[in-house]
Chains A and B, each alone.
Chain A
Amino acid sequence: KAGVTQTPRYLIKTRGQQVTLSCSPISGHRSVSWYQQTPGQGLQFLFEYFSETQRNKGNFPGRFSGRQFSNSRSEMNVSTLELGDSALYLCASYLGSLGTGELFFGEGSRLTVL
């Protein structure tokens, strides 16, 4: 079956702009979570969605937001971009919860902020 699809794969923005990233989960998976990967910090949890509801949120400023649609596809948005937002943004889909579920990651969206 098809894996997790993230779009766009690469994008370049300038400071102050906003960006929207998309994630299509594996068919049948209703849970989606987002992570930010940077060289210095590893993978940091952004938020988790289940059945269109945000189930959990990491320690990121309000400029980072997300949503999930009825077909389980998810988007995340970053407003007023800062240089430090340059990172690989990873989406994962799974059955159940983050407690014991195996996460299936997409290839990520690489954001560069100039």
Chain B
Amino acid sequence: DQQVKQNSPSLSVQEGRISILNCDYTNSMFDYFLWYKKYPAEGPTFLISISSIKDKNEDGRFTVFLNKSAKHLSLHIVPSQPGDSAVYFCAASASSGAGSYQLTFGKGTKLSVIP
């Protein structure tokens, strides 16, 4: 049972245009969401996060939108740059009791920004 789904395995975007990466989740107990970026042969790096009490968080060219009713979040990159080409993972956390949490990742979306 995949609780965090990234239905697009890959996405190609022209340099300078907007990249929109989508993520759907099924567990209504998730209360914090994060995006990570991963280059080949490197570990994932944190990009941006959002709490379930917000619907938008912005950091420079990156904006994450959360639609709780639809259990959907998206990452917008504007403008897209060739250096943004990487695999993007959506992740969601929920309490598993006694102050501990579990983080669930999607399978990732490979973004290719074409110069």
Contact = CB atoms under 8 A, between A and B. Distances in A.
Interface of A: 4, 33, 35, 40-45, 48, 55-56, 58, 90, 92, 97-100, 102-108
27 contacts: A41-B107, A42-B6, A42-B89, A42-B107, A43-B89, A43-B91, A43-B108, A44-B105, A48-B100, A48-B102, A55-B100, A92-B43, A97-B99, A98-B100, A98-B101, A98-B102, A98-B103, A99-B32, A100-B49, A100-B51, A100-B93, A102-B49, A105-B36, A105-B44, A106-B43, A107-B41, A108-B43
Given A99-B101, A100-B49, 16 more contacts: A4-B43, A42-B105, A42-B108, A43-B91, A55-B100, A56-B96, A90-B44, A99-B31, A99-B32, A99-B93, A100-B51, A103-B36, A104-B46, A105-B45, A106-B43, A107-B41
Contacts, number: 66
Contact of A56 (B43, B102, B107): B102
A35 to B, nearest CB: 7
A99 B43 contact: no
B61 to A, nearest CB: 18
B59 interface: no
A104 B36 CA distance: 10
B41 to A, nearest CB: 7
Given A56-B96, A98-B93, A45 B41 contact: no
Contacts of A55: 100
A102 B105 contact: no
B32 A100 contact: yes
Contact of A103 (B46, B96, B107, B108): B46
Contacts of A103: 36, 44, 46, 103
Contacts of A58: 102
> Taking each of B46, B101, B105, which has the highest tally of chain A beta carbons within 10 Å of its own beta carbon?
B101
